Structures are given as C-alpha cells and as structure tokens.
C-alpha cells in the first residue's frame, strides 16, 4: 500500500464525522457538513488519482470541487429564502 492510498484512507475516515453532522442536526448544520464532506472527498480523489497514476482522475476531483461550490451556493440561497 502506497503512502497516497494511506492518505486516501485517512480522508475516508475524515468523512465519518461529516456524515454524522449531515445525518443529524438542523438544516444549516447539515449544509456545513455537506460542504466539509465535499472538500474531504476532493482531497480523497486527488490522493487516489496520484496513487493510481491516472491523470484523468484529477478531472473528477476538479469537477466535484466546482459542482459542490455551486451546490453549496444554491442550498444556502434556498435556506436563506424559503426555509
């Protein structure tokens, strides 16, 4: 097991507290947990891409970073206006 896979495993472990925050708590707390989970997942994907030596996997991480940003903005506006 390479160092990068170990780091990816560490990031997977770091997803657990985010999942707990998302599964319980109020709507805004869940949104914060979702944003944190997206950041951790992007870092996890970078580590997996580096361990597998696949440059195409970086695009997945980049797409997730961009889409999670848009999603967070939409959720925040939704919470601000309608909930």
Residues that bind another protein (CB under 8 A): 3-4, 6-7, 10-11, 13-18, 20-21, 26-29, 31-33, 35-36, 39-40, 42-43, 46-47, 49-50, 55, 58-59, 61-62, 65-66, 69, 72-73, 75-77, 79-80, 83
Provide the minimum distance between the beta carbon of 26 and another protein in the complex, in angstroms, as a whole number. Answer: 8
DSSP state of 42: H
Alpha carbons 8 and 40: distance in angstroms, whole number:
10
Q: Pick the closest to residue 37 from 19, 24, 51 (CA basis).
A: 19
The count of other CB atoms within 10 Å of the CB of residue 71 is 15
| Distance of closest approach, residue 63 Cβ to another protein, in angstroms | 10
**Taking the complex as a whole, how short is the minimal distance between the CB of residue 62 and another protein, in angstroms?**
5
Q: What is the number of alpha carbons within 13 Å of residue 33 lying toward its C-beta?
A: 16
């Amino acid at each position: 097991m390479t160092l990068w896979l170990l780091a990816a495993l560490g990031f997977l472990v770091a997803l657990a507290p985010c999942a707990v925050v998302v599964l319980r708590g109020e709507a805004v707390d869940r949104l914060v947990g979702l944003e944190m989970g997206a950041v951790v997942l992007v870092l996890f994907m970078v580590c997996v891409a580096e361990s597998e030596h696949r440059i195409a996997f970086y695009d997945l991480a980049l797409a997730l970073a961009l889409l999670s940003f848009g999603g967070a903005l939409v959720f925040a506006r939704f919470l601000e206006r309608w909930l």
